Structure 1
Amino acid sequence: MSEPTLGRQLAAFAVRAARDGVPEPVATSVRQRTLDILGLAVAAHRLETSSMILGHVLDQGGHAQAIAVGLPDRVTAAQAALVNGVLAHSLDYDDTHLPSVLHPSACVVPAALAAGEHAHASGETVVRAVAVGLEVAVRLGMAGYDEALGNSVFFEHGQHATSITGAMGAAVAASLAYGADEDGVLHALGLTASMASGIIEANRTGGTVKRLHCGLAAQAGVTAAQLARRGFTGPPTVLEGRFGFFEAWLHGQYDAGQVTDGLGETWAVPGIFFKPYPANHFTHAIVDAGLALRARGVRPEDVASVRIGVAGAVIRTIGEPIETKRTPVTGYQAQFSGPYAVAAGLFGGGGLGVGLEDYSDDLAQDPARRALMATVEVAADPRCDAIFPHQFPAIVTVVTTSGDELVEEVLANRGGPERPLSDDELARKFTDNVAGRLADAGATAVRSDILDLSHATDLADVLEPLRHLKETP
């Protein structure tokens, strides 16, 4: 008897976990990540692109099935997943799995919540669905990670692994929320593989399309789950087949063991990194180094030159073209700039050290920050290469106008297993994200209900406060 296909094995794992439950550390992590995503969705309402996606969805019309954060009227489940996924990823403040460099929660959580509300699923069902969806997304992402290369093959091909494997995880999560059996989950995977997509050129040269990626992935997952319920089917060899997922995206270069080894026993979910700063994760250690230099008494006006040493693989995202990275025009461009990251740290900020207010269009163009950024070079460092991509380290060297040389090494990221954010820090991040937009009573209710989501019986009641946000922060 032949071994089940990879998709069949994932589907069987998904249904078992939905039926039997997930380990408590995994469930706790899911509840924390769900709260994080909802806080980010509220915070993203400050962006013009958020108004764009809300307006787009309102133009479509449709049945009232699920809550899109900030819309008073319910929209279809697929539309809610689209909106909430776009909002969740737009600030680049959502969690990251390493070394796959995925942002899985921004795809999976919106899909599970939308499908769960539409299906009147219990909170416990949604928690299990999110856990499995995250695990599937990460395992597919890791199947495309090349240990010898030290990078994701998806990224080497210019593909946004998050919106590709995230769509697959979203499909599994949505399917479980709808109560699918093993065949239903497998067919949803088979359908979603024809909808998953995303390229990352905007990271280099600009454009806001990346903000759509997680929303489109979540929407694809919900849509696929719904179509599978209607009877549409996908290929059982959707992953490993001659013309399947891994051939299409990775040209057949993948590690099947990453998909199946320890499946159901070893969970990646609790080890996914939370983000303390609202910027591309490659820049976080640079921000930390800047904050540490500031704490040592270094003032921006005392800086003659800065050398940022990072892993060579990240330079194309945060250091090239260097002229563009030294002169971001918008706060969004600043989120992908190594020079801006060190400036953000040296100038200081709010939140958990540097916050949302530190990535504004005005500050991106601030003459004092521009003057500092003009002194910055970004270069490959062999020590960072040896650690990447299990961490995103940075070694920052500052030469002052008086000739002193100061070095700060940040070799492990805040928010990961080695430097975890405390429960208080995660609560503060949520509070900061919703401040001024969600009433205090609503914020308290959402925080309490989401952290106790496993006991919720009505998801619509839990999410109700998120329908009504204040227009201005």
Structure 2
Amino acid sequence: MNTTRIRQARVRADGASVTAQLCEYVVDARYEAVPDDVRELAKLSVLDAVACMVGGSTLAPSRIAFDLFAEMGGVPEATIFGTDRRLPVLHAAYLNSASANALDFDDTASGHPGATVIPPALAIAEKQRSSGRQLLLAIVLGYEVGLRVVSAIQPSTERWRQVSSSATPQTFGAVTAASKLLGLTLDQTQIAFGLAGSGAPVPSIRKFGTRDGGPISWLKNNYGASSWSGVLAAQLAARHFIGPKTILDGAHGFWIMAGSDQCDFDEFVRGLGDEYWIRRVSFKPYSCCRYLHAAVDAVRLICSEAQLDVDEIREIRVASIAHLATFTNYQPLNPFDIEFSLPYALALTALGVPPGYAWLSSETLSNPHVAALARKVHVVVDPDAEQRFAAGHPHETTVTISTESEQFEKRIGVALGHPRNPLGPDALYAKFRRLVDPVWGEARASALLERIAQLETCKDVSMLFHETA
């Protein structure tokens, strides 16, 4: 039987609720108070998200959604990345958020926070003709609030195995960024939070496809709906729409609406203004689910250090948490299936195929060499890794590659891209060029890369994209 666990927040002297405290922080925040390293992280997050949006726009689910919204038409307010079209802000928020996560190459931190912060922020900033500093501040705040909500309502491990979704709480990242850029008052921001929470997508990840034999749902994490709800909420609040002002508070608050069995209310506000949660974000070196990355790291390192001939590999054994066994699709049907197939991710890594477009191509799906190597991957549960994961640590993974005569083993505690094992700016620049150049061309990619690097000097974000077209 599940037991509900609630840790109450410290009550401020004026009795302000956690919703009110978060909203007050958002309204009062100023760019000048943001530390230099956080500003740089925000720019790198924009760079990475733009690359993922442009790259993700090439996949069939993004093209289908774009065609639908393009048929609807509307006022050309915001850029649809990977195209030369502009559509209404709500359309742009939905489409660009879905595209950001389409390749599964976007940043992570108990979800994919950038996918529901940066696309809506860029859409609103383009319409509002906000400055680069206003945009960067809104993005920092979106990460701050969104990640705090995700963490505060994180369910127990038992409940997480039943009900889970990052899209549900990440709606607050979208509404935060949108509210700040729209210049909402404290009262309006609280209402926007209430409307966003009321309209957030349900926690649907357990019907995602990994546990039902696939294929993976093309909605994936449903981040388009998160961003749509967050932007719509802020726009309605700006027009004096009425909504609940204490959405995060109490026994009937958002945590239980989102399907959790516990809430740490202090987590919403602990260290607010001193800590910056964007520092906790990981950038992804591989275009697959983050749960697979430690194993991919291990295979990459073994193959590089041992100079293995892949034709000699007899088995790739992966020992990790039990959850990893839900990613053992040996017969992916489409690119989204590959993103969640551990056997294919490891086979492609061993074969030296670069992550991104090549991993998710039709040629990869039909390549018998990849399929044969993927069938040599086997997953077992590591009780120690499972215990540490349940205690909140990154999941440790041990990979053993066996040939006819030798065994090679590598244990990864923290996957590449984590703040404790970071992916540097040069790697992110290279990733940007690899994804953007084939879609928008080298000249346009170069101009956009330079403008993002100097984003704090930009007076009008709308020109960031129009001048590179």
Q: Settle same-fold status: TM greater than 0.5.
A: yes
Listed as ranges, the matches of 1:70-469 within 5 Å are: 70-97=82-109, 101-145=110-154, 149=156, 151=157, 155-161=160-166, 163-197=167-201, 198-200=203-205, 201-204=207-210, 205-211=214-220, 213-295=222-304, 296-316=306-326, 318-319=327-328, 325-350=329-354, 354-388=355-389, 390-402=393-405, 404-464=406-466
Structure 2 unmatched runs, 5+: 1-12
Shift of 1:262: 0.4
Shift of 1:32: 0.6
Would the aligned equivalents of 1:68 and 1:83 in 2 still touch at CA under 8 Å? yes
Amino acid at match of 1:7: T
Amino acid at match of 2:224: G
Amino acid at match of 1:391: P
SS of 1:378's equivalent in the other structure is: strand
In 2, Cα distance between equivalents of 1:290 and 1:166: 32
SS of 2:86's equivalent in the other structure is: coil
In 2, Cα distance between equivalents of 1:159 and 1:192: 18
Amino acid at match of 1:312: A
Residue 46 of structure 2 is matched in structure 1 by 34
Deviations 1:303-336, CA, capped at 9 Å, x for gaps: 22222111223333x23xxxxx122222321111
Q: CA RMSD in A?
A: 2.0
Residue 322 of structure 1 is matched in structure 2 by none
Shift of 1:383: 3.8
Amino acid at match of 1:106: A
SS of 2:353's equivalent in the other structure is: coil
Amino acid at match of 1:314: L
Deviations 1:246-291, CA, capped at 9 Å, x for gaps: 1211345111121111011111102200001111011111112221
Residue identity over aligned pairs, in percent, reads: 28
Residue 5 of structure 2 is matched in structure 1 by none
Would the aligned equivalents of 1:203 and 1:336 in 2 still touch at CA under 8 Å? no
SS of 2:57's equivalent in the other structure is: helix
For this pair of structures, how many residues does the alignment match? Answer: 449
Shift of 1:212: 6.7
1:64 is aligned to 2:76: yes
Q: After the TM superposition, which of the residue ranges 221-230 and 240-249 deviates more from structure 2?
A: 240-249
Amino acid at match of 2:322: G
Amino acid at match of 2:164: Q
Amino acid at match of 1:177: L
Shift of 1:410: 1.7
In 2, Cα distance between equivalents of 1:120 and 1:152: 46
Shift of 1:465: 5.5
Would the aligned equivalents of 2:295 and 2:412 in 1 still touch at CA under 8 Å? yes
Amino acid at match of 2:325: I
Give me the TM-score of the superposition, normalised by structure 2: 0.91
SS of 2:216's equivalent in the other structure is: coil
In 1, Cα distance between equivalents of 2:424 and 2:312: 34
Pair 1:278–1:75, CA change in 2 (3 A): same
Pair 1:33–1:6, CA change in 2 (3 A): same
Would the aligned equivalents of 2:61 and 2:218 in 1 still touch at CA under 8 Å? no
Would the aligned equivalents of 2:199 and 2:229 in 1 still touch at CA under 8 Å? yes
Would the aligned equivalents of 1:93 and 1:278 in 2 still touch at CA under 8 Å? yes
Shift of 1:159: 2.8
Would the aligned equivalents of 1:335 and 1:341 in 2 still touch at CA under 8 Å? yes
In 1, Cα distance between equivalents of 2:377 and 2:216: 24
Would the aligned equivalents of 1:134 and 1:169 in 2 still touch at CA under 8 Å? yes
Give me the TM-score of the superposition, normalised by structure 1: 0.90
1:49 to 55, 58, 61: 61
Would the aligned equivalents of 2:38 and 2:276 in 1 still touch at CA under 8 Å? yes
Pair 1:313–1:465, CA change in 2 (3 A): farther
Would the aligned equivalents of 1:334 and 1:359 in 2 still touch at CA under 8 Å? yes
In 1, Cα distance between equivalents of 2:388 and 2:41: 25
Shift of 1:20: 5.3
In 2, Cα distance between equivalents of 1:111 and 1:336: 26
Shift of 1:135: 0.9
In 2, Cα distance between equivalents of 1:432 and 1:358: 13
Residue 15 of structure 1 is matched in structure 2 by 27
SS of 2:264's equivalent in the other structure is: coil
Amino acid at match of 1:62: G
Would the aligned equivalents of 2:82 and 2:440 in 1 still touch at CA under 8 Å? no
Deviations 1:355-411, CA, capped at 9 Å, x for gaps: 431232332342222222222221221343355354343211122233x22212122
Amino acid at match of 2:148: R
Would the aligned equivalents of 2:105 and 2:356 in 1 still touch at CA under 8 Å? no
Shift of 1:66: 1.4
Pair 1:386–1:299, CA change in 2 (3 A): farther
SS of 1:357's equivalent in the other structure is: coil
Deviations 1:94-128, CA, capped at 9 Å, x for gaps: 0001xxx2100011101111111122221111111
Q: After the TM superposition, which of the residue ranges 227-236 and 205-214 deviates more from structure 2?
A: 205-214
Deviations 1:187-240, CA, capped at 9 Å, x for gaps: 111001121114112241223333471222112111110000111122222112
Shift of 1:166: 1.5
In 2, Cα distance between equivalents of 1:440 and 1:398: 39
Shift of 1:241: 3.5
In 2, Cα distance between equivalents of 1:435 and 1:393: 35
In 1, Cα distance between equivalents of 2:426 and 2:219: 30
In 2, Cα distance between equivalents of 1:262 and 1:431: 37
In 2, Cα distance between equivalents of 1:2 and 1:250: 30
In 2, Cα distance between equivalents of 1:337 and 1:211: 14
